[in-house]
């Protein structure tokens, strides 16, 4: 049984002219436990919407998201929040670290709503990512590369079974992009977490070797150009 | 709960300046409310329930309140004088335990000089069961000499002690540059503090008032010659402090006095003051309305301070939601943050309250000699902070609704 399964998932948005615009139309997609999947997609292709549906941040207009045999897309919002806090990690393109929190607090926040705070584990993650001397620093006091590593640590802080990475290297200097990707993939392997990484960066896609093409996955893209 | 406190604590730290400003404004508001309640309550108690040791004040025809303020609190001017014969008449009544004369006319740097008899130190009770006591080896004045006894505040403020001398100034108000009377008074003692208006008074023999140079007595065309006896019909007193064998006797005397037209009997004293406080109750109400208004303004300030940060924090809430925070958690975090600011404000409010109460007590003591009980606990000390927290929580609801309805996917896009 796959860890994650999408069945005929569609998501439409109401356009200003009142018509519904279909952004995501994925008939089938699944990920096994511990599997690492790369999805190639251009900007505006709806891949962030796709990830948000998987994460439960957006409800599909129709279809089902099945997690470990259970339909999670039909859960109420509070239950989806709890599921996300427990099972998922999310790496954003812009990192989305909280400016008022230190690096350690940002990572602790990643486990706050799930398993509960574990400063020791949060510290060990930051040490693993080479930030042992930056734990008390706030994001503004860190380099872009360091911020990215804090974001990686936060995504893995709740020991998730699936990590979603949305253009994880998009904001990084080319020198650090592959290094950050390597760290993310290594950490997922170490923790046994599956990884879905969407990107349009050829280096990232090359690293995975057999990236899926989002245009093939998403039937909505075949109908008309969309914005995500 | 732990995650809530974590988020709130970080948010308060992140917006430290606006937090501090809002806390201070909430503190001023709650401190003001508590102060108005406590000071007005304490003043009322101190002035009306102060257990005054005598029953009535007899004085010239006029206002009972003026008589009481003049004699009990040594404020205001005397409404006039009554003849010595009236004083002697009431003193001789069987239902009067003591009658002590009170004569005015002079001051020492603004502190009132009162002419009276030695009975003020021997039988007079300024509060029930409380007689004047002397500091150290102080003694009452000798009625045949130019001697004086000082209240504790007078001695403290003017730096005078037993054995020192002074010359009185004419009138109840000290006029800088005016020449003092010729008479030189020697201080025979300083009284222990009584925490009443009596601490601001200088007591001298009543003959001293009659014989002070420049004083002209009723019926006398000139000042009294030194050493000459003063005819009783020339003598007058401003008031007489009366203690009855039974307090209800005041009712009978009041009826008698009312039938005449030369005097007024202020009885019972607490009732006269109670009526006065009823009349000026609107001042307290106005102050309270102002204080409530300040609380409302502080509430709006709190709302504005949180609401103004909502746009920058919308992304923060979306990130929290993406990390698994429930909508209710975000909503509660905002309300808890607003409540926490109000709670911190209330704690600051206790400092503000302490400052205002202490300052008010000092001023009231300076002006009237009456000491407020700063240790008493008014119920407002409990419900004002609770009310402030409720106002804070209410002020947090609007921004919380805004945070609650944040579209996570759109905000993070």
Q: Rg of chain B's alpha carbons, rounded to an integer?
A: 31
**Pairwise CB contact (< 8 Å): A101 & B10:** yes
The pLDDT of residue B215: 74
Structure tokens at B197: 């208006």
Which residues on adjacent β-strands are paired with residue A35? none
What are the backbone dihedrals phi and psi of residue A29, each rounded to the nearest 5 degrees, phi first? -160, 135
Residue of chain A nearest B315, judged by CA positions: A96
Contact list, A86 vs chain B (CB under 8 Å): 324
Mean pLDDT rounded to a whole number for chain A:
87
For A137-141, A147-151, B251-255, B341-345, which range has the lowest pLDDT when averaged over its residues?
B251-255
Question: What DSSP assignment string belongs to A164-189?
Answer: EEESTTTTS-HHHHHHHHHHHHHHHH
Which residues on adjacent β-strands are paired with residue A90? A164
Would you say residue A72 has pLDDT above 50? yes
Structure tokens at A198: 């969407």
Alpha helix positions (H), A28-74: 47-55
DSSP count for chain A of H helices, then E strands: 9, 9
State mean pLDDT over A6-21: 86
Residue with tokens 């207009």: A61
* Residue A226 banded pLDDT, cuts 50, 70, 90: very low
State percent of chain A over pLDDT 90: 43
Question: What DSSP assignment string belongs to B189-212?
Answer: EEBPP-SSGGGGEEEEEHHHHHHS
pTM: 0.70
Report B:307-336 residues touching A (Cβ under 8 A): 315-316, 319-329
Nearest to A90 among B322, B326, B328 (CB): B322
Which uninterrupted H or E stretch holds B345?
helix B327-368
Which residues on adjacent β-strands are paired with residue A196? A37, A164
CA distance B152 to B191: 6
Structure tokens at B11: 């948010």
pLDDT one digit per residue (tens) for chain B, 413 residues: 777 888 888 888 888 888 898 899 889 989 988 998 888 888 777 766 566 778 899 999 988 988 988 888 888 788 888 999 999 999 999 999 999 999 998 999 999 999 999 999 999 988 878 899 999 999 999 998 999 999 999 999 999 999 999 999 998 888 888 889 989 999 999 999 988 889 999 999 999 988 888 777 766 556 666 667 788 888 899 999 999 988 888 888 888 888 877 899 998 888 888 887 777 778 878 888 888 888 888 888 878 877 777 777 888 888 988 888 888 888 998 899 889 999 999 999 999 999 999 998 888 877 777 777 778 888 989 999 998 899 888 888 888 888 888 888 888 77
Report B:369-408 residues touching A (Cβ under 8 A): 408
Q: What is the ipTM of this complex?
A: 0.87
Residue with tokens 């301070």: B305
Other C-beta atoms closer than 10 Å to the C-beta of B82 total 23
The pLDDT of residue A175: 73
Nearest to B196 by CA among B52, B350, B6, B312: B52
* Residue A129 banded pLDDT, cuts 50, 70, 90: confident
List of long-range contacts for A71-75, beta carbons under 8 Å, 24+ apart: A73/A9
The pLDDT of residue B116: 96
Other C-beta atoms closer than 10 Å to the C-beta of B321 total 26
Contact list, A114 vs chain B (CB under 8 Å): 324
State mean pLDDT over A162-173: 84
What are the backbone dihedrals phi and psi of residue B261, each rounded to the nearest 5 degrees, phi first? -135, 20
State whether residue B115 is helix, strand or coil: strand
Residue of chain B nearest A158, judged by CA positions: B323
Beta strands A20-31 and A4-14: pairing type?
antiparallel
Would you say residue A36 has pLDDT above 90? yes
């Amino acid at each position: 049984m796959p860890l994650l399964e999408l069945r005929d998932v569609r998501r439409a948005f109401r356009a200003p002219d009142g018509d519904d615009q279909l952004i995501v139309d994925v008939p089938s997609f699944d990920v096994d436990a511990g599997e690492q999947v790369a999805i190639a997609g251009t900007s505006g292709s709806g891949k962030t919407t796709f990830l948000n549906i998987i994460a439960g941040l957006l409800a599909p207009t129709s279809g089902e998201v099945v997690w470990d045999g259970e339909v999670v897309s039909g859960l109420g919002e509070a239950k989806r929040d709890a599921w996300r806090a427990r099972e998922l990690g999310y790496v954003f393109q812009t990192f989305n670290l909280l400016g008022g929190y230190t690096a350690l607090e940002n990572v602790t926040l990643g486990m706050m709503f799930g398993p509960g705070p574990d400063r020791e584990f949060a510290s060990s993650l930051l040490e693993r990512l080479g930030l042992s001397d930056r734990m008390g620093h706030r994001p503004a006091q860190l380099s872009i590369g360091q911020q990215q590593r804090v974001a990686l640590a936060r995504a893995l802080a709740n020991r998730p079974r699936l990590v979603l990475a949305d253009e994880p290297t998009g904001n990084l200097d080319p020198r650090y992009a592959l290094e950050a990707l390597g760290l993310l993939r290594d950490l997922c392997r170490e923790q046994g977490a599956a990884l879905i990484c969407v990107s349009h960066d050829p280096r990232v896609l090359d690293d995975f070797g057999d990236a899926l093409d989002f245009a093939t996955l998403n039937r909505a893209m075949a109908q008309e150009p969309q914005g995500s | 709960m732990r995650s809530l406190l974590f988020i709130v604590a970080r948010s308060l730290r992140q917006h430290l300046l606006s937090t501090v400003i809002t806390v201070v404004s909430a503190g001023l508001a709650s401190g003001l409310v508590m102060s108005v309640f406590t000071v007005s309550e304490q003043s009322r108690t101190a002035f009306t329930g102060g257990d005054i040791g005598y029953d009535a004040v007899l004085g010239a025809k006029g206002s009972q309140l003026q008589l009481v303020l003049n004699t009990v609190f040594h404020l205001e001017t005397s409404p006039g004088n009554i003849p010595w014969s009236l004083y002697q008449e009431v003193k001789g009544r069987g239902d009067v335990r003591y009658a002590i004369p009170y004569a005015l006319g002079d001051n020492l740097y603004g502190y009132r000089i009162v002419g009276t008899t030695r009975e003020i130190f021997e039988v007079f009770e300024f509060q029930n069961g409380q007689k004047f006591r002397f500091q150290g080896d102080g003694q009452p004045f000798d009625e045949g000499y130019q001697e004086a006894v000082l209240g504790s505040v007078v001695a403290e403020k003017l730096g005078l002690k037993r054995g020192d001398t002074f010359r009185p100034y004419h009138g109840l108000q000290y006029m800088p540059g005016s020449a003092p009377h010729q008479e030189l008074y020697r201080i025979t003692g300083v009284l222990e503090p009584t925490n009443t208006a009596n601490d601001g008074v200088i007591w001298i023999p009543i003959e001293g008032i009659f014989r002070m140079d420049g004083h002209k007595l009723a019926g006398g065309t000139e000042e009294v010659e030194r050493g000459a006896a003063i005819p009783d019909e020339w003598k007058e007193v401003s008031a007489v402090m009366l203690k009855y064998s039974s307090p209800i006797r005041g009712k009978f005397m009041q009826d008698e006095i009312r039938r005449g037209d030369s005097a007024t009997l202020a009885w019972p004293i607490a009732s006269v003051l109670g009526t006065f406080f009823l009349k000026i109750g609107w001042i307290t109400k106005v102050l309270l309305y102002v204080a409530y208004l300040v609380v409302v303004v502080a509430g709006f300030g709190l709302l504005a301070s949180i609401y103004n940060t909502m746009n920058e924090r919308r992304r923060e809430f979306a990130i929290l939601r993406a990390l698994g925070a429930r909508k209710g958690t975000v909503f509660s975090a905002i309300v808890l943050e607003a409540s926490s600011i109000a709670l911190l404000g209330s704690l600051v409010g206790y400092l503000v309250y302490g400052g205002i109460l202490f300052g008010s007590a000092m001023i009231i003591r300076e002006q009237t000699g009456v000491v407020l009980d700063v240790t008493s606990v008014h119920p407002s000390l409990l419900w004002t902070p609770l009310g402030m927290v409720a106002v804070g929580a209410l002020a947090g609801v609007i921004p919380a609704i805004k945070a609650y309805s944040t579209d996570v996917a759109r905000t993070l896009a």
